[in-house]
Chain A
Amino acid sequence: MTDLLYSADDQDLRDAVRGSLARVLDHDRVAALYDDPGADVSAAWRAVASDLGLAALLVPEHLGGAGATAREAAVVAEELGRAVAPVPFLTSSVVATTVLVHAAQAGSQEAADALGGLADGTSTAALVLPWTARAGTRTTYDGGPVRPVAGAVGADLLLVPRADGLHLVPAADAEVTPLTSLDMSRPVATVEVGGEGVLLADSEQAAVYVDAGLVAGAALLASEQLGVAQWCLETTVAYVGTRVQFARPIGSFQAVKHRLADLYLEVVQAQAAARWAAAALAEGDPDLPVAVATAQSWCSEVALHAAEEAVQLHGGIGMTWEHPVHLYLKRAKADQLALGTPAAHRSDLGVLVDLVP
């Protein structure tokens, strides 16, 4: 059976990420992005990518990376979710990096060169597809504006899957228009690609690489969602233990207790599912598509449920801008729609396990 636990190194990695994020980021900074999308949060990415070198995790050593596995990247994703961090880790260091690694492994020097900059955090890349895309849906970019693309705002490089193959285009040769987004901590944009850039792979290969990028993204999104859910659960448990109504802590009401006990169970299951997906990705397990579809279906719903319960159990305060829970609700909702909705993943799963309508 796959190892579903964390190693001692994973724990150290977690502590390091949590510690440095705490130094450079707080909820007010994230909330400020809703009023001023240009607010400077670059310190968070510098801490993650340059100081800790985490943008290099999924880049093999011979390509200048850290040669880590999806298990470690999943730990990072959890912590980034827990902090609703406005950083392009998932879009650039997971999805785009995975696509480029495939191209580089197949011999593309341009892809290898691009990975150098991605790995050391000096540049970021984004895959030019709607952020709702998922593996197996064979989407390509066929000119004109495409929206909503995540990770494109501020990216240096764009990966463009055209009909004739995968192109690497400098962002300067494209028009990237930021959109007011449901989750301003991961803003989406309209992208219109002007330049041809360089061809990294033919169309057949491109489909394989793009799918690999989307699978990796979906697998590790589950860990981000786990981090979101855990923050919501812990914050709510702490709140109901101290908020007094009817001369009792509201957490002493069985209606509240049972809800949180149920949520705890969901989160326990989400943690197992997220670890399963990360391990399957790390090991190239043939069960990977099943693991990803299962984890996405489950973790998407759990993160959203946790955020919704957090709002509800905070009462009026949960409906305010002042309390950070809204940042998690917006991230959880956007994450639920990202890289395939739960319903879409369940329908994929039906095919995978031979349970079709």
Chain B
Amino acid sequence: MTDLTEAVRRLLAEHPPGGSDPTAFLGARFDAGLAWVHFPVGLGGLAAPRDAQTEVDRLLAEAGAPGPDPANAIGLGMAAPTLVAHGSPEQQQRYLRRLFTGEEIWCQLFSEPGAGSDLAAVATRAVLDGDTWSVTGQKVWTSGAHNARRAILLARTDVDVPKHAGLTYFVVDMTDPGVDVRPLRQITGEAEFNEVFLTDVRVPDTDRVAAVGHGWRVATETLNNERVAIGAGADREAGQIGLVARRWREDPSVRSAAQHDTLMRWWVESEVTRMAGERLRQQLAVGAPGPESSAMKLAFARQAQGITNLMMELAPDEALEHDTWELVRPRSGSFLGRGPGYRYLRAKGNSIEGGTSEVMRNVVAERVLGLPADHRPDKGVPFKDVPR
């Protein structure tokens, strides 16, 4: 820990946060190995234990240092760990630093109209043509595609094998002329996600991540990374519960005997989830996150929805009003600065995005508890023979 504290001190001394612009500071932080301390040296890390990051983040925040761009949540939480685990040295050199500084925002081209919960049913085709892949298909619900410079993509490279075996993982340049991003409006009024049409998008084979046909394994890890990133290293009352708790303390008009126990139940649930998340991260200090992180995502979605709902009931007159339904294409999905109705509606997506709560329960039941899987008629059937 002292080594890390020293590294933080040196970074702050050489690059006073007030003086350098955020991109330059984040670049220096990457070079100092303080981006993701558990990453290898030279790739933004110091090969330190994963849970040491919390302390580094705290020290940097205290010094007023700029943090990474929240609009790049997918890059930071999903693409980066995937590239470290499976990317080629060249990909790691080329992408990680600009990803961390926010110079390049990333999005995730996984889901399709026919492949949501059943992600392995992805039908977007990638066909090798010399040393370049030609990618054609349709993606949907792609958060932040309108801001993104690059994407992680799951595409089908072989239709003659069962669905899981025919997938490959790529990095895609979103400025390719074959990429067509169209906004999709959400129940909140804004268009945070998009439809993305891919027509003969050219992807050099050097942008393939891991071996041909290994896409499913890599994608699963990506998703586990996303799930473990949820609420990482949070303080007490950091999330939705904090907003309600503060209001309850400061405003007697929202207090009622009838709702008090409900509030306290959510407080307890938020706190035990925080502890469980912390414990999971300590166990994971080394190694990659596994299916256990699915349970955390379940809890997070439940709380976000229950607590935003409670907030509306505590101040019903306010909740009948709404800040705005304006169609905007936000830079990032953030609950801050928006009203209770927005938070309630946006939280509905928490049990759908990144794998639904039902799918999370299946993962926990089958992969953690080892229960037998549901009957799947397409098991072992070549993808091209599965009726769709």
Contact = CB atoms under 8 A, between A and B. Distances in A.
A255 B317 contact: no
Interface string A118-137: 00000000000011100000
B374 A253 contact: yes
Interface string A239-281: 0000011111010010110000000000000000000000000
B116 A322 contact: no
Nearest to A183: B320
A329 B325 contact: no
A343 B189 CA distance: 29
B341 A182 contact: yes
A341 interface: yes
How many chain B residues sit at the interface, stated as a range, is 35 or more
A181 B323 CA distance: 8
A312 interface: yes
Contacts of B362: 255
A246 B187 contact: no
Interface in A180-194: 180-184, 188
Contact of A312 (B193, B325, B352): B352
Given A312-B357, A343-B256, A245 B118 contact: yes
Contacts of B378: 246-247
A334 B377 CA distance: 42
A97 B327 CA distance: 38
Interface stretch (A78-86, A200-208, A313-321): A313-321
A132 B358 contact: no
Chain A interface category by residue count: 35 or more
B157 to A, nearest CB: 21
Contacts, number: 135
A247 B258 contact: no
Contacts of B325: 34-35, 180, 184
Interface in A317-357: 318-322, 326, 329-330, 333-334, 336-338, 341-344, 346-347, 357
Nearest to A327: B187
B54 interface: no
A311 interface: yes
A183 B320 CA distance: 7
Which among A34, A308, A316 has the greatest number of chain B C-beta atoms within 10 A?
Answer: A316
B348 A130 contact: no
Contacts of B187: 311, 318-321, 326, 329-330
Interface of A: 34-35, 130-132, 147-148, 150, 179-184, 188, 244-248, 250, 253, 255-256, 308, 311-312, 315-316, 318-322, 326, 329-330, 333-334, 336-338, 341-344, 346-347, 357
Interface of B: 111, 114-118, 121, 140-141, 184-187, 189, 193, 256-259, 262, 305, 312-313, 316-317, 319-325, 327, 341, 344-345, 348-349, 351-352, 356-358, 361-362, 374-378, 386-388
